[in-house]
Amino acid sequence: MRAAARPHAYAAALCLGLGGANLVRGPTVVALGAVAVTAAFAVVREPARPALLFLALALLGWCWGSARLVALDRSVLLTRVDTSEQSVLEVTGPTRRSRFELRVPAKVRRFGRLRFREAVELELPLGRSPPQGALIESVVTVRLPEPRKNGFDERTWLRRHGVHVVLRADRWHQIGRRGGLGGLADGLRRRLAGSVAPGLHGERRGIVEGVMLGDEQSLSDEVRQRFRASGLYHLLAVSGQNVVLVAGGALALAWLLGLPRWLGQIAALAAIGAYVLAVGAQPSVIRAGVSGALVSLAWLAARPADRWHFCLLGALVLLAWNPYTLLDPGFQLSFAAVAAIFVVAPKLLSTFEGYPVPQALAGILAVSTACAVATAPVLWMQFHALPLLTVPANALAAPAIPPLLALGFAAALVGPVSPPAAEAIGWLNGWCAAYLAATARLVGGLPGAQVRSGRALVELLVVAGLLGAYAWRRWLSSFPRT
The region of weakest confidence among 101-105, 251-255, 330-334 is 251-255
Q: Could you tell me if residue 244 is inside a domain?
A: yes
Q: Tell whether 305 and 426 lie within a shared domain.
A: yes
Segment 136-140 shows an average pLDDT of 92
Q: What is d(CA 326, CA 322) in angstroms, rounded to the nearest whole number?
A: 8
- Confidence check: pLDDT of 439 > 90: yes
pLDDT of residue 219: 83
Q: Tell whether 63 and 81 lie within a shared domain.
A: no
19 vs 247, residue with greater confidence:
19
Of the ranges 35-44, 361-370, 452-461, the best mean pLDDT one? 361-370
Q: In whole angstroms, how far apart are CA 482 and each of 68, 136, 343, 471, 478?
A: 63, 81, 34, 21, 12
pLDDT of residue 4: 44
pLDDT of residue 34: 64
**Domain end (from 24, 54, 72):** 72
pLDDT of residue 167: 93
Non-local (6+) Cβ contacts of 245 within 8 A are 402, 405, 406, 409
pLDDT of residue 136: 92
33 vs 109, residue with greater confidence:
109
Q: What is d(CA 421, CA 427) in angstroms, rounded to the nearest whole number?
A: 10
The region of weakest confidence among 354-358, 404-408, 411-415, 459-463 is 459-463
pLDDT category at 313 given cuts 50, 70, 90 is confident
Segment 299-326 shows an average pLDDT of 81
CATH number for the domain that contains residue 163: 2.40.50.140
Paired residues of 87 in beta bridges: 111, 138
Segment 309-316 shows an average pLDDT of 84
Q: Tell whether 118 and 45 lie within a shared domain.
A: no
Q: Could you tell me if residue 482 is inside a domain?
A: no
- Confidence check: pLDDT of 481 > 60: no
pLDDT of residue 240: 73
Q: Could you tell me if residue 477 is inside a domain?
A: no
Non-local (6+) Cβ contacts of 341 within 8 A are 367, 370, 371
Q: Could you tell me if residue 106 is inside a domain?
A: yes
The region of weakest confidence among 30-44, 297-311, 321-335 is 30-44
User: What's the CA angle centered on 231, arms 427 and 157, to 5 degrees?
Assistant: 105
Q: Tell whether 321 and 366 lie within a shared domain.
A: yes
Domain extent at residue 300? 192-469
Q: Tell whether 224 and 265 lie within a shared domain.
A: yes
Q: Could you tell me if residue 164 is inside a domain?
A: yes
Share of the chain above pLDDT 70, in %: 86
The H or E element spanning position 28 is helix 27-41
Q: Strand 84-91 and strand 166-168: pairing?
A: unpaired
pLDDT of residue 348: 82
The region of weakest confidence among 6-20, 64-78, 233-247 is 233-247
Q: Tell whether 117 and 236 lie within a shared domain.
A: no
Cα-only R_g, the chain:
25
Q: Tell whether 351 and 460 lie within a shared domain.
A: yes
The region of weakest confidence among 10-24, 99-113, 154-168, 260-274 is 260-274
Closest CA to 34 of 4, 56, 12: 56
Q: Could you tell me if residue 398 is inside a domain?
A: yes
Cβ atoms of residues 340 and 371 within 8 Å: yes
Closest CA to 323 of 25, 111, 100: 25
pLDDT of residue 29: 59
Non-local (6+) Cβ contacts of 57 within 8 A are 10, 13, 14, 17
Q: Could you tell me if residue 185 is inside a domain?
A: no
Cβ atoms of residues 349 and 360 within 8 Å: no
Q: What is d(CA 49, CA 37) in angstroms, rounded to the nearest whole number?
A: 10
Q: Tell whether 293 and 432 lie within a shared domain.
A: yes
pLDDT category at 122 given cuts 50, 70, 90 is very high
**Domain end (from 178, 206, 240):** 178
pTM: 0.82
The mean predicted confidence, pLDDT, of the chain is 82
Q: Tell whether 381 and 283 lie within a shared domain.
A: yes
Closest CA to 253 of 242, 243, 264: 264
Q: Tell whether 157 and 199 lie within a shared domain.
A: no
* Helix pair 7-20, 49-72: axis angle to 10 deg: 40
Q: Tell whether 47 and 102 lie within a shared domain.
A: no
pLDDT of residue 1: 45
Q: Could you tell me if residue 475 is inside a domain?
A: no
**Structural domain count of the chain:** 3
- Confidence check: pLDDT of 426 > 80: yes
Per-residue pLDDT of 229-277, as tens digits, reads 888 888 887 777 777 778 777 888 888 888 888 788 888 888 888 888 8
Segment 444-458 shows an average pLDDT of 75
Q: What is d(CA 287, CA 80) in angstroms, rounded to the nearest whole number?
A: 37
**Domain end (from 72, 102, 122):** 72
Q: Tell whether 57 and 103 lie within a shared domain.
A: no
CB atoms within 10 A of CB 99: 6
The region of weakest confidence among 261-270, 307-316, 450-459 is 450-459
Segment 333-338 shows an average pLDDT of 86
pLDDT category at 47 given cuts 50, 70, 90 is low
